[in-house]
Amino acid sequence: MPGYVRVNVSARIVDGKALGIKIQEEVSERVSSLKGQGVAPHLAVVIAGDDPASHVYVRNKERACERCGIISTRIDMPGSSNLEEILEVVSSLNSDPNIHGILVQSPAPDGVDELAIASSILPQKDVDGFHPVNLGKLVQGRAGGLMPCTPSGVMRMLESSGVKTRGARAVVLGRSRIVGMPMALMLAQPGCDASVTIVHSKTEDISSICNQADILIAAVGRPHMVGKEWVKKGAFVVDVGISRVEGGLAGDVSPEVSEVAGWITPVPGGVGPMTIAMLMENTLRAAEMQLF
Ligand code: GUN
């Protein structure tokens, strides 16, 4: 067509799998050195019910523990378990000096209060980083707490790619306690220094807000919700969503976004492996903290 040149810009892929393996190798070395001091890091994973996706996630966590030399114990509970029964298990893990990290896999059985579970885990064993003390430390900007794994993994991806975050406009799509809310706080922290907007189901004109983002984090769990018209040219796009669709897995970001984005995290092979790597790092840190 005269007057038009079609340029196929293709985003750089942020390889979460490779970065996750590198982090796990570093964790593995530190685990060996901790074992030399007589401490064997040990993660307990509680899973209630038989949600197939949760079982896949838990298996992946167990495999990662094996790779890092971290002991893992899995506690299977029936899907009919109530809050009291889960709290009893957590309480016995809290008081076991050989257990350094505790994770209760979400979703909990119907009707079970997940916030009550998160609050019942000792903050120093809370490798998910969901306890109010750990989230409070994040708000206060205090180092030393255990931080939620998925947003920590996203921060590592940003760091490793070398993109400028200071003064960048970041938009977080989704306000979940697991990803969206802690993600927004981490991006705004001194040192990262992004200016953050959180958009959610009640936000008006979401697409034009997203379109101003230098860093766009999609964490809503709606397959291919983010189209290329939502994305600023050259933006760093992080796809946290992972949904089962006919024919496989889909992220929140439509594949055509790679024509405009500067960077993009793939699904699978992006944020997922980074979340697991951060869980390994948190378990190691929890063991180190309990040593000193
Ligand atoms: N289910 C999906 N993601 C997570 C996570 O990061 N932690 C826990 N405990 N459950 C989950």
CA–CA dist 196, 187 (Å, integer): 7
pLDDT tens column, 174-224? 999 999 999 999 999 999 999 999 999 999 999 999 999 999 999 999 999
Active centre residues (catalytic): 61, 105, 128
* 275 has a pLDDT exceeding 90: yes
Closest Cα partner for 156 from 265, 282, 274, 61?
Answer: 274
pLDDT tens column, 113-139? 999 999 999 999 999 999 999 999 999
Cβ of 281 less than 6 Å from ligand 1:
no
Distance 19 CA to ligand 1 centre (A): 20
For the CA of 149, the closest atom of ligand 1 is 6
One-letter amino acid identity for 118?
A
Q: Residue 155 is encoded by which pair of tokens?
A: 């921060």
Q: Which domains does the chain have, with CATH numbers?
A: 39-123 (3.40.50.10860), 149-272 (3.40.50.720)
Q: Residue 104 is encoded by which pair of tokens?
A: 């209760």
CA–CA dist 279, 78 (Å, integer): 24
Q: What is the pTM of this model?
A: 0.95
CA–CA dist 196, 128 (Å, integer): 23
What per-residue confidence (pLDDT) applies to 234?
97
Sequence-ordered list of residues with C-beta below 8 angstroms from that of 121, at least 6 positions apart, any chain = 90, 94, 102, 104, 128, 130, 131
Site to probe by mutation for ligand 1, drawn from 46, 77, 103 as the one with most ligand atoms within 8 Å of Cβ, is 103
String of DSSP letters for 21-58 = HHHHHHHHHHHHHHHHTT---EEEEEEES--HHHHHHH
Distance 105 CA to ligand 1 centre (A): 5
Cβ of 152 less than 6 Å from ligand 1:
no
